Amino acid sequence: MFYPVYIHPGDDDHAHGVTFPDFPGCFSAADQWDDLPRQIQDAVELYFENEEGEIPLPTPLEALARNPTYTGGVWMLADLDLARIQPCREWLNVSLPAALVGRIDRHAAAHHLSRSAFLALAAERAMTD
């Protein structure tokens, strides 16, 4: 689904900044224009890791273009893969050996993941084989 994002163009010393009107507090950046779609998708996925509720519908670009808050940049429509965004979480009680939990936690921390994110990724990978 296409969502409007506002790009604050960078220069040789600054990355291009991204503001997401439909996701308050969600920001991203990329050094190259070509990297923006991937960075935008990653930022929204990370944003919804801790969000509850439904993903809002995109605000019409026409409504945002009249908003004086957005100046000095350009609008872009980002094609977000909503299937990769899962804001609704289900609580799960799992018993695992303590040593395994320790290994999971160390691996997850080394890769900047939460325990839950690591287990979800591991399960997804296991089911795609």
- Find how far residue 122's CA is from the centre of its chain: 19
Q: List the domain boundaries for the chain.
A: 2-84, 98-128
CA-CA distance, 37 to 52, in Å (whole number)? 24
- Would you call 95 helix, strand, or coil by DSSP? coil
Amino acid at 103: R
**CATH 3.40.920.10 matches 2-84:** no
Q: Where are the alpha helices (DSSP H) in the chain?
A: 36-49, 61-65, 98-110, 115-128
Pairing mode, strands 2-8 and 16-19: antiparallel
Q: Which of 26, 20, 15 is nearest to 76 (CA)?
A: 20
Mean pLDDT of the chain: 88
When pLDDT is cut at 50, 70 and 90, the band that residue 126 belongs to is confident
Q: What is the pLDDT of residues 97-120, one digit of tens each?
A: 999 999 999 998 887 777 887 888
Predicted local confidence at residue 53, as pLDDT: 67
CA-CA distance, 126 to 120, in Å (whole number)? 10
Residue 23 per-residue DSSP state: S
Q: What is the pLDDT of residues 53-85, one digit of tens each?
A: 678 889 999 999 889 989 999 999 999 988 788
pTM of the model: 0.65
